[in-house]
């Protein structure tokens, strides 16, 4: 049988990754995990609703869940700041990762954000510092970390949850250094060139796989909504559970060295 290879357009994928009816963070928590209990707050300033944290079981395995959440209804989207976290979000994720390390509990990160929020308070409370601290801590976190990009992997705000042992992208998700609009504005002072720029940024799951930066791509159904996500969730769950069984057996020092070497090997030079 001849396999038909269709080269997908990057801009179409950007649109799919951002589609309003695409499943968001909370949908994955509901569909993938059992016994979820939410844990709020960063213990420093507040609770960022753009990032949901908590404990749950995955096929009976206790795990820490950290999920960026864009919201579904317009009302909810506004209330979670469209999934753009403040420093409190990244400090909450850091707190829960540290806690997971203490109990040697695997961490599952669900990534979906246009980027960390660019605001006055966010800057004053150290947005850069919060992301930098996440990356630094993940560099040597002594428990397995598995990350999945379900929609938008927007620059540093997404990267902060991606420095783990295993990175999965959904077929029509993206991972980019900057939004195509932002890039077009800086380079051409014209956001309408975003479509063209998207093709140059190499932000699709195929591109990332080509660079060797991700471990797997999971196929999406044609119409991908929370009502059609169950098959995808089964595949995703199976892959994560298998990975956890593999990673949890490693000596923690070995786990950390493996993670470090994996990322250091992505020199790109």
Partner 1 sequence: MKHIFQDKSNGINYRRLENIAPIIECSSCGRNVLEELARTNSSICPFCGNDFRMKAHDRMEQILDNGSFKETNKSMSSVDKLHFPDYTKKLNKYKKSSGLKEAVVTGIGAIDGRKVAIAIMDAQFMMGSMGTVVGQKIVSLTEHATKNKLPLIIFCASGGARMQEGVLSLMQMSRCSIALNRHSEKGLLYISVLTHPTTGGVTASFAMQGDIILAEPGALIGFAGPRVIEQTVKQELPDGFQRSEHLIEHGMIDNIILRRNMKYTLSHLLKLHTPFDGGAL
Summarize as ranges the residues that interact with partner 1 (CB under 8 A). Answer: 116-120, 122-129, 131-133, 135-136, 138-140, 155-156, 159-160, 162-163, 175-178, 182-183, 186-187, 200-203, 207-208, 211, 213, 260, 263-264, 266-269
Q: Which is nearer to partner 1, 71 or 182 (CB)?
A: 182
Residue with tokens 């991606």: 162
- Nearest distance from C-beta of residue 41 to partner 1, angstroms: 19
CA distances from 183 to 151, 153, 197 (A): 19, 15, 7
- By C-beta, is 19 or 187 nearer to partner 1? 187
Instruction: Choose between 140 and 228: whose C-beta lies nearer to partner 1.
Output: 140
Which of residues 237 and 263 has its CB atom nearest to partner 1 in the complex? Answer: 263
Distance, CA of 218 to CA of 88 (rounded, Å): 31
Taking the complex as a whole, the smallest distance from the CB of residue 229 to partner 1 amounts, in Å, to 26
At closest approach, how far in Å is the CB of 112 from partner 1? 16
Which is nearer to partner 1, 65 or 122 (by Cβ)?
Answer: 122
C-alpha 184/C-alpha 225 separation (Å) is 30
For 87, 203, 215, 236, 258, the CA distances from 211, given in Å and listed in that order, are 30, 11, 11, 22, 19
CB of 137 to partner 1, least distance (A): 8
Please say which residue, 200 or 238, places its beta carbon nearer to partner 1: 200
Least CB distance to partner 1 at residue 266 (A): 5
Q: Which of 111, 239, 122, 80 is nearest to 176 (CA)?
A: 111
- How many contiguous H segments (helices) and E segments (strands) does the chain have? 12, 8
**What are all long-range contacts of 74-82, with beta carbons under 8 Å and residues at least 24 apart?**
79/49, 80/49, 80/50, 81/48, 81/49, 81/50, 81/117, 82/50, 82/114
Nearest-10 crossing angle of helices 25-32, 230-248: 70
Residue with tokens 């959440």: 69
Minimum Å distance from CB 159 to partner 1? 6
């Amino acid at each position: 049988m001849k396999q038909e290879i269709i080269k997908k357009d990057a801009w179409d994928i950007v649109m799919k990754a951002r589609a309003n009816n695409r499943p968001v963070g909370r949908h994955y928590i509901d569909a993938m995990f059992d016994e979820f209990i939410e844990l709020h707050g960063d213990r420093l300033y507040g609770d960022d609703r753009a990032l949901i944290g908590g404990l749950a079981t995955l096929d009976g395995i206790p795990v820490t869940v950290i999920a960026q959440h864009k919201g579904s209804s317009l009302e909810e989207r506004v209330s979670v700041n469209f999934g753009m976290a403040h420093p409190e979000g990244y400090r909450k994720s850091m707190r829960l990762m540290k806690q997971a390390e203490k109990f040697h509990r695997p961490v599952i990160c669900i990534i979906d954000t246009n980027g960390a929020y660019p605001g006055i308070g966010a800057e004053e409370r150290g947005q850069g510092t919060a992301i930098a601290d996440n990356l630094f801590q993940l560099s040597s976190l002594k428990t397995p970390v598995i990350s999945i990009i379900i929609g938008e992997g927007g620059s540093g705000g997404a990267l902060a949850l991606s420095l783990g042992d295993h990175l999965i992208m959904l077929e029509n998700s993206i991972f980019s250094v900057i939004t195509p609009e932002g890039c077009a504005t800086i380079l051409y002072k014209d956001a309408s060139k975003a479509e063209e720029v998207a093709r140059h940024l190499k932000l699709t799951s195929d591109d990332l796989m080509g660079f060797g930066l991700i471990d797997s791509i999971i196929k999406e159904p044609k119409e991908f909504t929370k009502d059609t996500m169950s098959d995808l969730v089964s595949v995703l769950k199976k892959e994560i559970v298998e990975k956890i069984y593999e990673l949890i057996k490693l000596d923690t020092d070995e786990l950390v060295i493996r993670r470090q070497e994996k990322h250091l090997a992505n020199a790109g030079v």
